């Protein structure tokens, strides 16, 4: 944008004023140099989310307020930024799309302010436009996910408008479940996706058309609610587990959600097919040392979920029972 301004000013100089050609030549060299310099700078700026003040979009869209020059009133104007259009630059720079610039997806015309009204009507790429049918993304199984999403309660309520980005913020999304070896971090990241709407009246209403149910009340029946919310993801109970997918995307409402304790609290816990299926977590448990001996396959509490302790308890019980029986026999026959 600055280049255009400089070039504009340059042409303005040529056509509007009679200026010494010598000065003009000097100015031309300056413009050329600044063009290359700025070109180089703008290239690095294009992807630099590290320094949002220098970024053509983020200098406004990473702040609560923005300032612009009103040409009509010829005054500097400071306004509040729409909170939904403020971007978290720290999250962007660690997200999966960090190597993209804003205008890779949004129209380059957004670089002009005020933004053209018709830009709002411009269709944006969906996730599958880039990720679908691409071999390099095959392991993420985007098509299969799409098929699952179409069965989900979200799709039933909101149809095609319930895009991936409703949960997976395209600006900041990080594949935490795949990469983190911290269970609590995985749970927290996943649950925040759900809560971004389910704990936000406006966003929830946008999709459902009615007020959001109070989560704490709805889950009143769940013992140790706070601990469950911290240690397992909403989707543990609110999805239909699909073995071929890392995260099941068929989100189900409360009618179909898991409500039986033993679905998780058992040796054959469904958590093994969901939250604990990640390779990084298996590695974590291998490093557990003593914990591994005790909790080999027991992610959910209780000695019976620890094969070693289960076996030991059966042996001790049978030995005691055997002792009692033998002693009784002696008492009967040795009287």
Q: Does 113 bind another protein (CB under 8 A)?
A: no
CB of 176 to another protein, least distance (A): 20
Tokens 């055997």, residue?
A: 322
- Which tokens sit at 233? 């993801």
Residues 6+ apart with CB under 8 A from 291: 285
Q: Does 67 bind another protein (CB under 8 A)?
A: no
CB of 302 to another protein, least distance (A): 5
Q: How many whole angstroms separate alpha carbon 236 and alpha carbon 248?
A: 9
Which residues, 226 to 255, sit near another protein by CB under 8 A?
A: 226-227
Q: Kindly tell me which residue out of 35, 303, 311, 322 binds another protein, with binding defined by CB under 8 A.
A: 303
Residues 6+ apart with CB under 8 A from 55: 45, 48, 49, 62
- Which tokens sit at 283? 């590695």
Q: Does 297 bind another protein (CB under 8 A)?
A: no
Tokens 């989560």, residue?
A: 215
Q: Does 261 bind another protein (CB under 8 A)?
A: yes
Bridge partners for 70 per DSSP:
75
Q: Kindly tell me which residue out of 36, 43, 68, 317 binds another protein, with binding defined by CB under 8 A.
A: 317
Angle 314-317-320 from CA coordinates, rounded to 5°:
150
Q: Rounded to the nearest 5°, which phi and psi values hold at 67?
A: -125, 140
Q: How many whole angstroms separate alpha carbon 158 and alpha carbon 150?
A: 10
Q: Kindly tell me which residue out of 50, 67, 182, 313 binds another protein, with binding defined by CB under 8 A.
A: 313
CB of 214 to another protein, least distance (A): 21
In this chain, which stretch among 67-75, 129-137, 188-196, 293-301 interacts with another protein, using CB under 8 A? 293-301
Q: Does 334 bind another protein (CB under 8 A)?
A: yes
Residue numbers at the binding site for another protein (CB under 8 A) = 223-224, 226-227, 260-262, 265-267, 287-291, 294-295, 298, 301-304, 306, 309, 313, 316-317, 320-321, 324, 327-328, 330-331, 334
């Amino acid at each position: 944008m600055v280049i255009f301004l400089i070039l504009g000013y340059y042409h303005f100089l040529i056509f509007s004023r009679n200026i010494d050609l010598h000065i003009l030549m000097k100015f031309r060299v300056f413009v050329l140099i600044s063009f290359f310099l700025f070109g180089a700078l703008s290239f690095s700026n294009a992807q630099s989310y590290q320094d949002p003040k220098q970024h053509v979009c983020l200098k406004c869209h990473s702040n609560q307020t923005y300032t612009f020059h009103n040409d009509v009133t010829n005054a500097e104007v400071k306004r509040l930024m729409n909170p939904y259009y403020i971007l978290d630059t720290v999250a962007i720079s660690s997200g999966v799309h960090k190597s993209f610039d804003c205008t890779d997806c949004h129209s380059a015309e957004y670089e002009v302010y005020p933004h053209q009204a018709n830009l709002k009507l411009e269709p944006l790429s969906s996730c599958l436009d880039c990720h679908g049918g691409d071999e390099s993304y095959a392991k993420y199984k985007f098509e299969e996910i799409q098929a699952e999403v179409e069965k989900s309660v979200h799709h039933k309520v909101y149809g095609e408008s319930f895009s991936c980005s409703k949960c997976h913020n395209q600006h900041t999304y990080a594949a935490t479940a795949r990469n983190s070896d911290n269970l609590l971090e995985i749970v927290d990241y996943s649950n925040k996706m759900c809560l971004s709407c389910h704990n936000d009246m406006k966003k929830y209403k946008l999709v459902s058309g009615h007020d959001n149910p109070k989560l704490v009340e709805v889950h009143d029946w769940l013992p140790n609610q706070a601990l469950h919310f911290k240690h397992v993801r909403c989707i543990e109970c609110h999805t239909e587990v699909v073995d071929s997918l890392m995260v099941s995307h068929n989100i189900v409402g409360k009618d179909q959600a898991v409500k039986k304790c033993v679905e998780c609290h058992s040796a054959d816990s469904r958590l093994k097919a969901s939250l604990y299926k990640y390779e990084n977590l298996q590695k974590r448990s291998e490093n557990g040392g003593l914990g591994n001996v005790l909790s080999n396959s027991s992610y959910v509490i209780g000695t019976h979920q620890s094969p070693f302790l289960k076996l030991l308890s059966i042996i001790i019980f049978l030995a005691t029972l055997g002792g009692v029986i033998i002693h009784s026999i002696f008492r009967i026959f040795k009287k």
